[in-house]
Chain A
Amino acid sequence: MSNLREIQSRINSVRDTMKITNAMYMIASSKLRKAKKSLKNTEPYFYTLQDAIAKVIKQIPEDISLIYFNGKPKAADEKKKGYIVITGDKGLAGAYNHNVMKIAEGELKKEGDPVFFLIGQVGRNYFETKGIPYDTAFQYTVQNPTIRRARVISGRILQMYREQKLDEVYIIYTRMIHSMECRAEMKKLLPLEKADFQEKEESGGLNRQTNYLPTPYDVFKNIIPNYITGFLYGTLVQAYSSEQNSRMLAMESATRNARDMLKSLSVTYNRVRQAAITQEITEVISGAKLLKRRKS
């Protein structure tokens, strides 16, 4: 059995680790609360805009909407694909990063020469150690997503899309289904699918005589980047919430494990101490007995 001091130092180190995991749990839960609030705030914009696009695409001339919707008619293996991969900036969040990378890995195996846009330090490290090329000009963090950042990202993606450097853009991120479940998902960002913009039944569509000012093209040019920016902001917030949620759960279970460990360690400690005491007493008694016997 190990000696007392070893167990004591083990107990101390576990206790220190537990303090850290507990603090991280606290931090993650307060960040999660903030993230959840901003997640809720993005919803009205997103749904209204989706509905608005549904109304507009019916009336916009085909040649304008075509580039954003159907994409160029090209053979499937000739299409240049881009992937936006959102991971965390650090680990310590259970399987959060792993699940995202697993999807990215699967896409990597497919034919073609995909371009990867990485958001988050973990993904960057992963690609670097594996020696997989990625777009290095794309340096954004995932901490505290802002609209400004989403706007810069969407501007860049749309630019490349319009210049036909990219034909299809996908986004791999983690969606928060409810507070206990997050799932890594891949979604198509561009070209847009007309099927995604189904009008709600009751809205009834726009009037035939609706004017587009100054031109339908200008209107459309304003709507699409806004939609992409809103979408990206939404996914960034989703991913950020999921990360905090995963970290919170991971740290909670780490703290729980540390507590269990402390319990069993302190039992061992007491046993070892008791054994040492018993041994000492036995030695004293047997020594005393020996002396007594010798006297008589």
Chain B
Amino acid sequence: MDTFALKIIAINKVFYEGNAKQLIFSAVDGLVGIMAHHEDAVIAVNVGEVKIQTAEDRWVIAISGAGHIQIDRNHVVMMVDTVEYPEEIDEQRALEAKERAEEQLRREQSLYEYAISKACLIRAIERLKIKKKYSAR
């Protein structure tokens, strides 16, 4: 299987740099998979799971924040605000954040605060989901 050059950059670190066979991430309108020689595109990335099949056929799993991805002549650059491994996620903290966000959503608040709380809730839920999925094994 052909590979492509992949770079995943978060605000505070370069998460992945190297060749990969496949990349799966969640776009605004659902999951998207990228393989070598994908057509050139710029895609908006949502909060969610990211799966990378490395050139050595190892699967790297992570959770990403929002951002975008650029595919340019077999060079793929993904730029998101955060990327974490499942084992980096603190379940307790995510749970607390989820409860906090839910509580804030129940209270009456401005449209802006609503949007922030909702985004927090989505992030917390995604974190928990992925943590659960990969800590069971």
Contact = CB atoms under 8 A, between A and B. Distances in A.
Contact of A152 (B10, B40, B43, B116): B116
A230 B73 contact: no
B40 A207 contact: yes
Contacts of B29: 213-214
Given A218-B28, A222-B67, A209 B79 contact: no
Contacts of B66: 222, 225-226
B82 to A, nearest CB: 6
B72 A206 contact: yes
B135 interface: no
Given A207-B73, A210-B40, A147 B82 contact: yes
A219 to B, nearest CB: 5
A151 interface: yes
Interface string B16-29: 00000000000111
B68 interface: yes
Given A207-B73, A210-B42, A214-B28, A48 B9 contact: yes
Interface in A206-248: 206-207, 209-214, 218-219, 221-223, 225-226, 229-230, 233
Interface of A: 38, 41-42, 44-45, 48-49, 52, 55-56, 147, 150-152, 155-156, 159, 206-207, 209-214, 218-219, 221-223, 225-226, 229-230, 233
A42 B11 contact: yes
Contact of A226 (B27, B81, B115): B81
Given A56-B42, A56-B70, A225-B66, 18 more contacts: A41-B14, A44-B14, A45-B9, A45-B79, A49-B9, A52-B68, A150-B11, A152-B116, A156-B112, A159-B112, A206-B42, A210-B41, A213-B32, A219-B44, A221-B44, A222-B28, A223-B67, A230-B11
Chain B contact residues, majority secondary structure: strand
16 contacts: A48-B9, A52-B77, A52-B79, A55-B72, A155-B116, A156-B112, A206-B42, A211-B42, A212-B42, A212-B43, A213-B27, A213-B32, A219-B43, A219-B68, A222-B44, A223-B67
B58 interface: no
Interface of B: 7, 9-14, 27-29, 32, 39-45, 66-68, 70, 72-73, 77, 79-82, 112, 115-116
Contact of B42 (A45, A150, A219): A219
Contacts of B77: 48, 52
Contact of B27 (A48, A214, A230): A214
A213 B42 contact: yes
B13 to A, nearest CB: 5
B12 A42 contact: yes
